[in-house]
């Protein structure tokens, strides 16, 4: 029998192409693993925080917080210029590189988180650093920082009045746009943390530039703010916040629901509680609800999130968003009670 080789090759190419299309369809149909972002607070001690973390549960880590000095530099003489450890000493570049490589070896993405809710005294003036005459230099400094440390990206955590002032000056979105271009050119990530109240939200114009938008769905009440007798991070608040950011244009796969591993006390209770300390002081049974005591104006109580609420919120995020974010990882119990609640919720078991 004589083979018609050109025809055979043509048929073979069709079959190979059909196989590749089918393979791509199968890959596309596979569900993407939800994002689980964990903030590692340098001021708590990175080694301590990592030792208290179930590393298998997290896809991204944000090392917090790095700030530039008055000259806009993040690194000088082998040390961060404004990123203190648990002793208040600025972290060394070598220490951070080792930590980052360790987390990346577990398959996670590692970002540096900048600014923070309280800007330390060692920081330069972010309003001046993001003004048009210094914006490019600040972007270049952040790019150099990611290259120096071997990071996977940058998380921008400019909050509250500082965010409002920078945005009103017209300098927030242009900075984010320029930084996004620089990060994308290096195949690195750009994310943000944002509140959901007027004056604390990243502007709508900046949203398309972020790979992830971490919604801080907590702190409705605290030691010196909020309506007396309220809870600081209810399930209803989480649902409202997700709806708000979907309406503001954040794509589902980029929307990340923030979860608190801490609580606040009122009426004679200690003001600040990690979930870890709360369980140690009150017992695991007392933390099975979101309030210890009676939450009412002038009453003695602690507001936090129980494992059941964390699981319920994670399930909500699995349905309406791309995943969850945690502030912060040193605060979970030794048996990773809240982290395991996240795992259960995201798996929709």
**pLDDT at site 10:** 42
pLDDT digits (tens, 9 = 90+) for 243-262: 999 999 999 999 999 999 99
Per-residue pLDDT for 240 more than 60? yes
* 173: its two tokens: 């979105």
Per-residue pLDDT for 11 more than 80? no
**pLDDT at site 33:** 87
Q: DSSP character for 86?
A: T
CA–CA distance, 104 with 109 (Å, rounded to integer) = 6
Is 298 among the domain residues?
no
The β-bridge relationship of strands 109-116 and 153-158 is parallel
Is 189 among the domain residues?
yes
pLDDT band at 107 (very low <50, low <70, confident <90, very high): very high
Is 273 among the domain residues?
no
Q: Which helix (H) or strand (E) holds 168?
A: helix 160-168
N-to-C CA span, the chain: 60
pLDDT digits (tens, 9 = 90+) for 303-344: 999 999 999 999 999 999 999 999 999 999 999 999 999 999
Per-chain mean pLDDT for the chain: 92
Is 240 among the domain residues?
yes
pLDDT digits (tens, 9 = 90+) for 88-98: 999 999 999 99
Identify the three-state secondary structure at position 182.
helix
CATH of the domain at 256: 3.20.20.80
Domain span holding position 122: 34-261+306-347
Q: How many domains does the chain have?
A: 1
Is 41 among the domain residues?
yes
Counting residues of the chain whose pLDDT is more than 70, the rounded percentage is 91
Sign of the torsion angle spanned by Cα atoms 17, 22, 23, 24: positive
Per-residue pLDDT for 20 more than 50? no
Is 165 among the domain residues?
yes
Per-residue pLDDT for 7 more than 60? no
Is 71 among the domain residues?
yes
pLDDT band at 175 (very low <50, low <70, confident <90, very high): very high
**pLDDT at site 318:** 97
Per-residue pLDDT for 14 more than 50? no
* 220: its two tokens: 């409705």
The stretch 41-49 carries a mean pLDDT of 97
Is 299 among the domain residues?
no
């Amino acid at each position: 029998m004589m083979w018609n080789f050109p025809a055979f090759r043509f048929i073979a190419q069709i079959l190979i192409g059909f196989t590749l299309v089918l393979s791509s369809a199968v890959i596309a149909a596979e569900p993407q693993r939800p994002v689980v972002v964990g903030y590692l607070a340098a001021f708590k001690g990175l080694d301590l925080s990592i030792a208290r973390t179930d590393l298998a549960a997290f896809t991204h880590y944000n090392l917090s917080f790095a700030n530039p000095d008055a000259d806009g530099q993040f690194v000088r003489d082998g040390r961060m210029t404004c990123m203190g450890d648990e002793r208040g000493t600025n972290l060394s570049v070598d220490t951070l590189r080792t930590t980052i490589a360790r987390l990346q070896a577990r398959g996670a993405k590692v970002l540096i988180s900048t600014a923070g809710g309280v800007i330390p005294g060692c920081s330069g003036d972010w309003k001046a650093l993001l003004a048009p005459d210094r914006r490019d230099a600040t972007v270049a400094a952040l790019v150099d920082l990611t290259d120096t440390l071997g990071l996977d990206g940058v998380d921008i955590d400019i909050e509250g009045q500082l965010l409002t002032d920078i945005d009103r000056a017209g300098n927030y979105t242009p900075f984010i746009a320029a930084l996004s271009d620089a990060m994308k050119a290096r195949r690195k990530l750009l994310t943000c943390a944002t509140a959901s109240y007027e004056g604390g939200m990243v502007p709508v114009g900046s949203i398309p530039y972020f790979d992830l938008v971490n919604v801080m769905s907590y702190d409705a009440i605290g030691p010196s703010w909020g309506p007396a007798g309220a809870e600081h991070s209810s399930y209803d608040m989480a649902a409202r916040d997700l709806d708000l950011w979907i309406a503001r244009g954040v794509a589902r796969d980029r929307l990340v629901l923030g979860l608190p591993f801490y609580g606040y006390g009122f009426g004679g209770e200690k003001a600040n509680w990690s979930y870890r300390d709360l369980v140690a002081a009150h017992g695991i049974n007392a933390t099975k609800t979101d309030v210890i005591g009676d939450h009412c104006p002038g009453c003695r109580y602690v507001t936090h999130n129980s494992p059941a609420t964390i699981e319920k919120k994670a399930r909500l995020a699995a349905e309406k968003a791309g995943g969850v974010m945690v502030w912060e990882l040193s605060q979970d119990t030794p048996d990773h009670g809240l982290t395991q609640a996240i795992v259960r919720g995201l798996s929709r078991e």
